[in-house]
Amino acid sequence: MRTSLIAVAVAGGLALLTGCSGLQDAADTAAAASQTLSNAQVCLDAVGAVDFTPDALNPQNTVEQSRTAAETLNGLAGKAADTTVNDAIRDLSDTLAAVTLDDLASPVVWVQRKTDQAAALLQACSMR
C-alpha cells in the first residue's frame, strides 16, 4: 500500500512538473509575442514622430518640430527591446535634436540625412 502511495505521489509530481514546464513555455511564448508587439509599436510611434515636412517659409517651426520629434524619439528608444532599433531611433533623434536654422538654409543635405536615418530605422524595424 505504501509503495502505491509513493508511486501515485511521484506520478502526480511528474504531472505537475510537466504542467509547469508547459506553463513556462506558454509564458515564454507570450513574452516573446509581447516583445514583438512592443517593438512594432515603438517602430510605428517612431516613424510617426518624424513624419513632418520642413517648412521652407518658417524654418524656426521646422527646428521646433525637429526638437519635439527628438524628445519623442528619446522616450521611445528606451522602450525598444531590440538594440538595432534602439540605435536607429537614437541616431535619428540626435540628428533632429541638433538641427539649427543654419542647417535649414540649405535644407537638401539635412532632409537627405533625415531621410537616410528614417530609412535605417524602417530597415531595423522590418528585420524584427
Per-residue pLDDT of the chain (128 residues; tens, 9 = 90+): 555 544 444 444 444 445 555 545 544 444 444 454 578 899 999 999 988 888 888 999 999 999 999 999 999 988 888 889 999 999 999 999 999 999 888 778 888 888 898 899 999 888 75
Give the pLDDT of residue 104.
85
Find, among 71, 87, 78, the residue nearest to 121 by Cα. Answer: 87
Find, among 38, 33, 31, 39, the residue nearest to 122 by Cα. Answer: 39
Give the pLDDT of residue 24.
53
> What are the boundaries of each domain within the chain?
35-126
pTM for the predicted model, two decimal places? 0.68
- Whole-angstrom CA distances from 82 to 11, 47, 51, 86, 92 are 42, 16, 22, 6, 16
CA angle 85, 89, 94 (to 5 degrees): 150
Find, among 76, 96, 94, the residue nearest to 86 by Cα. Answer: 76
